[in-house]
Structure formats: C-alpha cells, structure tokens
Structure 1
Amino acid sequence: MSWQAYIDNLVASRNVDKAAIYSRAGDSVWAKSAGFDLSTSELSEIRSGFENSAGLQAKGLHAQGIKYFLLRADDRSIYGKKGAEGLVIVRTTQAILLAHYPEGVQPGEATKIVEQLADYLISVGY
C-alpha cells in the first residue's frame, strides 16, 4: 500500500478531514491531504513536544497557523483542540502521523482510527 493510500483511508473514514505522514525526523513528507501543509517551525515544535511537552503546554500546539489547546502530550501521542475541531498526532518507529478532525466528529473516534494506524505501522516496522 502506498503512503498516500493510508492518508486516503483515514479521510475516507470520515473521522478525519485531512492528514499527513512525515518522517520521524521531520525532514520529509511521505504523504498528505491536499493543502495540509505544516511549516518547518510547526513540525519542529511537534517533534520537540514528543520529548518534552513543556513548550507545547506553555505556547500551545500550532498547525497551519492555527493555535490548538494542548490536551495531552507524551512520547507517543499529542492531542490538541480548538473549539470543536482537533488534532491527533502519533509518533511511530519511523513516522509521525498528523490528522485533523472537523467539527461534528467525536474526538475519540478520530483518535481511535489514527492510533490504530500507528499501531499497525509499528507492527510492520514503521
């Protein structure tokens, strides 16, 4: 399966409206939804948040120029929320999955599908 197919499947679930897969180092994008672009500084902020969430707690989580309230951050997952929308970000062995869920989607449903994809990627060495 191509990397883009993983993104397309996430979006097809209707629990996510846009997503991207970056290398764990954050130096390349493997696949993404059209128009779902993060700046270098936003990606760096996210990568740092997996190691130490203090910066995200103090300044918030940013994606596409939008500030999200940090709900959770640990060495595997980062969750953010802005109103009824949110972000689910999960780090695997070799990748970082970023997914945005829109208003009307239950956060738990979006989280479940992204975390399941991460589990699968980890199980096959990614």
Structure 2
Amino acid sequence: MHKLQCSGLPAAVSKEEIAKLVQGFEKQDILTSSGVTLAGNRYIYLSGTDRVIRAKLGKVGVHCMKTQQAVVVSLYEDPIQPQQAASVVEKLGDYLVSCGY
C-alpha cells in the first residue's frame, strides 16, 4: 500500500485509489462518473488532461500531475487559490520530468 500523509489527509491512500487515479489520466470518463477518491474521501472531478487532474470536495481542492515515474498529489484549501496550487504542483512535476522522473 502506498501511504500519503499530510495535514487534511489523515488516512493512507490505498493502492486501489492510486491505480484508479493513474488510470484516470488516460481514461478521464472513469473519474467523470465516480470522482477522485483519496484516503476514502471522494472528490468531485472538475477537469483534466493526460498530465493533470483537478477535483474538489467542499473547501478542499485536489491538483494532481503525472510525471514519467510519479504522480504528484496536492490537497489545498482557503486561502490557497486553485491557480496557486496548480502553479506549485506543475512546477514540481516539470522539475521531476526534467530529472527523468
């Protein structure tokens, strides 16, 4: 099981949740119908591309970016704005890609 710990995400993210998220980059209709689930919390899928997924649940937003070998997952809430989270996540993702990850 992959574990992801941070404030606002008290439980571990399951292997199945990560697998579905990764699959969602290729087949976004999976996320459109059932949302993005992380640590048992189901977020409403907002939009995505083959590299980025955006979702939200109440005041908490999710911004994910796929690199060659990793998926960067970010949770944010007020006062952080979606554009701020996107900028940080995508810069980190681009850096990882430039390093071969």
**TM norm structure 1:** 0.70
- Cα separation, partners in 2 of 1:96 and 1:36, compared to 1, 3 Å: farther
Distance 1:62 1:75 in 2: 18
Q: Deviations over 1:18-66 (max 9, x none)?
A: xxxxxxxxx756xx43546211221111011011011100111111111
- Structure with higher RCO (Cα < 8 A, 6+ apart): 1
Number of aligned residue pairs: 98
Deviation at 1:75, TM superposition (A): 1.1
Q: Give yes or no for contact 2:2–2:13 (8 Å, CA) kept in 1.
A: no
The equivalent residue for 1:60 is: 35
Distance 2:91 2:12 in 1: 23
Q: 1:106 aligns with which of 65, 81, 84?
A: 81
Tell me whether 1:88 sits opposite 2:63 in the alignment: yes
Tell me whether 1:33 sits opposite 2:5 in the alignment: yes
Secondary structure of 1:125's aligned partner: coil
* C-alpha RMSD of matched pairs (Å): 1.7
Q: Give yes or no for contact 2:45–2:54 (8 Å, CA) kept in 1.
A: yes
Deviation at 1:69, TM superposition (A): 1.0
Secondary structure of 1:90's aligned partner: strand
Paired residue type of 1:93: Q
Q: Give yes or no for contact 1:89–1:98 (8 Å, CA) kept in 2.
A: yes
